[in-house]
Amino acid sequence: MSAVVQKYGGTSLADADRIQSVARRVAARRAEGDQLVVVVSAMGDSTDDLIALAYRIAKRPQEREMDVLLSTGEIVSSTLLTMALHEMGYDAVSLTGAQAGIGTDRRYGRARIHSVNPDRIHRELESGRVVIVAGFQGITEEMDVTTLGRGGSNITAIALAAALEAACENYTDVDGVYTADPRIEPNARKLTGISYEEMLELSSSGVRVLQSRSVELASVYNVPILVASSFTEAPGTLIHGGVNMEQRNKVAGIAHDSDVAKITVRGVPDRPGIAATLFEPLAEAGISVDTIVQNASAEGATDLTFTVARADLDKAMELAGPIAKEINARDIVGDRTRAKVSLIGAGMQSAPGYAARMFRTLYEGGINIEMISTSEIRITCIIDEDRVTDAVRALHKAFELEQAE
Amino acid sequence: MSAVVQKYGGTSLADADRIQSVARRVAARRAEGDQLVVVVSAMGDSTDDLIALAYRIAKRPQEREMDVLLSTGEIVSSTLLTMALHEMGYDAVSLTGAQAGIGTDRRYGRARIHSVNPDRIHRELESGRVVIVAGFQGITEEMDVTTLGRGGSNITAIALAAALEAACENYTDVDGVYTADPRIEPNARKLTGISYEEMLELSSSGVRVLQSRSVELASVYNVPILVASSFTEAPGTLIHGGVNMEQRNKVAGIAHDSDVAKITVRGVPDRPGIAATLFEPLAEAGISVDTIVQNASAEGATDLTFTVARADLDKAMELAGPIAKEINARDIVGDRTRAKVSLIGAGMQSAPGYAARMFRTLYEGGINIEMISTSEIRITCIIDEDRVTDAVRALHKAFELEQAE
């Protein structure tokens, strides 16, 4: 008998009807004979409601208390799903993160799992129960409740799958990983499989299916994750550690992200240490800088351009402005209306010509490339946000992604 | 430095404003220098909301899951009160029942505390923190969450006060124990003190200030409880183990209860075993029978009368009807419109004449007494519910309860 860890997101558990619908799916799977551990997120917007409540009480709620407060959301949904299974005649038991043996460090709000003690889960599984685990939470050695941060329930599911040597299935409101966003490219095709590496690049390039941190964890413990819809029976996408040796298409998919703002420091004197002077204060302020491009120049001055999330633009300009003056740059300009489009595929590293084809495709579409950045398996271009749809469609066609693998 | 356990009920914590108001009271007390442990109930109706949610999912939610679900209500209010204290500059920490060391048996929904391990609380108090404990909940040896049943947060507070050798203060929406219900008798006087014994009789006679179970627990561990309002600064009533040796008034107060239905089985053959035959099925159905009176008769047949809560009348008639036939009783009649009025005072047992004066007072008021039951410190009369107000006022005057102790 093999064990399976399933995870259901908050949208899939938003109300009593949806919880019952998830219970029916869990029951059907249980009826097939697998041992089942189900990790749940909090119902719908309930976490946001708790956060709002805390901010009505305190300007800056303490993180320890916030974690205890937020952990109740997942506990509530875990008990309700368990009750729904009982109602259908299935034996089931809910476990909190602590009861499920999820041990973490003390970094409240963004705790890291340092150990999983699956004894209790094993006992419950052996007595024939479906085990419903409250996701997103753990407990420190001092028995204090912690939460795992954004995507925490996915982390719980992957950690449990690793500890139980079980398969991991992630049910959410998207039904898999596509060659491009289907809302933009109607010909986008759902992938049956994708490697951790490629998924990591997709996640950090704007594809919101699974957070990078979850993919990393799955990759470290080599836990394959099936991403599928909790609302349909359509087959999902398996994120795995293998490589498709004879993959027809070297490009796995196209990612885009419109949450991009660009800052250009113009006329920067060409001397060492300038980049550190500029970026250290941004890092200290918690502003994540994405693509950085520096244009060499013949006249002893260069342009330094980088991108940040749009929400960080004002703060970044505030911090970088005085520094630009200090280092005798000519001026500094911010632009909120950028976007990035990325071509991702593990096969690209062994085959030349992908970058050239990407640039030509965009050129032929009349789309101006403002910045370029690449990794071994990714090519990213920064473009005008108004041209994102055109860029995604043109690239999808050029790389023949609508055709089956 | 002495320790104090305060308890705040759900009405006192119903929204963000009230939580902040409780935080101000706690802070003021902390500023006086006492070590403070604060036990909280769930916010306002939040427990009812969780129960309703469970019943939308399952017809009969499993008790273990219900307990985990409901325990989240007190956890939420404990974290919010803690955040409010932080906001005011006080060091504080919230603890769940488990973290506070409340060990219980496995009787879900009505667990009994079997041990309190106050190590963590001691540690937090010693580091100068106000400790906010989620009431109503505990944990079994197997680390399963339990709830303590109705009035559970009061039980938590008393158990912690006993374990910490601390004073216990119960803040609620009533401001103390009165000689009679002030809504009925405007001259009712708040008592400065009352014995456990008297409070027990008051609680079981219709006074809703503190559940009998809480008073019993306080009595066993000799924990004095101050009952006072969380909304005013008015002094409350101390429920204690002492006796007022020279109490001017032997009567502590008058209780009334309109939730009384009466069942009379008429013409019951006078032979052994009849009472058992009648009451055993009621007990099995969970129907609590209150006053029982059997009138002796000369003709070999008696009338057997007893009272139940009104909500139980139909069920009780349904069960008792066939039995009445079976034992050849003449007939059985139910009456929903009864009430009881009780005179309570520890001093009454050592001084005769109270019963006679009570009966005369009711007689002079033209109030018919249908049943009488007594304990050592209580005399209860069952009367028509329409006469309750008259009875309470007449007795309050006759026993001079408006005068200071």
Q: State the fold for domain B3-173.
A: Carbamate kinase (3.40.1160)
pLDDT band at B1 (very low <50, low <70, confident <90, very high): low
For residue B342, give the H/E element and its range.
Answer: strand B331-344
Nearest by CB to residue B99, choosing from A16, A58, A143, is A143
Q: Are the beta carbons of A52 and A115 closer than 8 angstroms?
A: no
In chain B, whose CA is at the least distance from the CA of A66?
A: B79
Whether B88 and chain A come into contact, CB under 8 Å, resolves to no
B46–A contact, CB cutoff 8 A:
no
What are the percentages of helix, strand and coil residues in chain B, rounded to 5? 40, 30, 35
Which of A56, A60, A40, A37 shows the shortest CA–CA distance to A48? Answer: A56
Which pLDDT score, from 0 to 100, does residue A223 have?
Answer: 95
User: What Å distances lie between residue B338 and B155, B262, B308, B367, B380, CA to CA?
Assistant: 32, 7, 10, 12, 13
In the sheet where B253-269 sits, what is the strand order?
Answer: B289-295, B301-308, B253-269, B331-344, B378-384, B371-375
Q: What is the pLDDT of residues B131-173, one digit of tens each?
A: 999 999 999 999 999 999 988 999 999 999 999 999 999 999 8
Sketch the domain layout of chain A as residue ranges. 3-173, 253-398
Yes or no, beta carbons of B19 and A94 under 8 Å apart: no
In the DSSP assignment, the letter for residue A401 is T
A161-170, A242-251, B280-289, B363-372: which has the minimum mean pLDDT?
A242-251
Residue B388 has pLDDT above 70, yes or no: yes
Minimum Cα–Cα distance from A75: chain B residue: B69
Q: Above 60 in pLDDT, residue A247?
A: no
Closest approach of B76 to chain A, Cα-based (Å): 5
Q: Are the C-beta atoms of B95 and B78 separated by less than 8 Å?
A: yes
Q: Which two tokens stand for residue A69?
A: 């407060």
Q: pLDDT value at position A286?
A: 85
Q: Report which residue type is found at B343.
A: L
Instruction: Provide the pLDDT confidence category of residue B274 given band limits of 50, 70 and 90.
Output: confident
Q: How far apart are CA A378 and CA B160, in angstroms?
A: 60
Number of H helices and E strands in chain A, helices first, is 11, 18
Interface check B131 vs A, CB under 8 A? no
Angle at B386 between CA B382 and CA B390, to 5 degrees: 85
Residue of A nearest to B19 (CA): A57
Which CATH topology does B253-398 take? VC0802-like (3.30.2130)
The label of the residue with tokens 């799977």 reads A29
Mean pLDDT of B28-48: 95
pLDDT, tens digit, for every residue of A152-196?
999 999 999 999 999 999 999 889 999 999 999 999 999 999 999
Which member of B66, B82, B98 has the closest CB to residue A65?
Answer: B82
CB B211 within 8 A of CB B200: no
Residue A349 scores a pLDDT above 80: no
CA B401/CA B405 separation, integer angstroms? 8
Q: Do B53 and A16 touch (CB under 8 A)?
A: yes
Supply B85's token pair: 């204290």
Query: Is a pLDDT exceeding 70 seen at residue A12?
Result: yes
Phi/psi of residue A130, nearest 5 degrees: -80, 130
Return the closest-CA partner of residue A351 out of A246, A213, A260, A214: A246
Distance of alpha carbon A54 from alpha carbon A69, whole angstroms? 8
- Please give the average per-residue pLDDT across B366-373, as a whole number: 90
Mean pLDDT, all residues of chain A = 91
Contacting residues for A36 by C-beta, under 8 A, at least 6 apart: A3, A4, A6, A26, A29, A30, A130, A131
Share of chain A above pLDDT 70, in %: 97
Q: Could you write out the DSSP letters of every residue in B271-327?
A: -TTHHHHHHHHHHHTTPPEEEEEEE--TTSEEEEEEEE-GGGHHHHHHHHHHHHHHT
Distance CA(B63)–CA(B50), nearest Å, equals 13
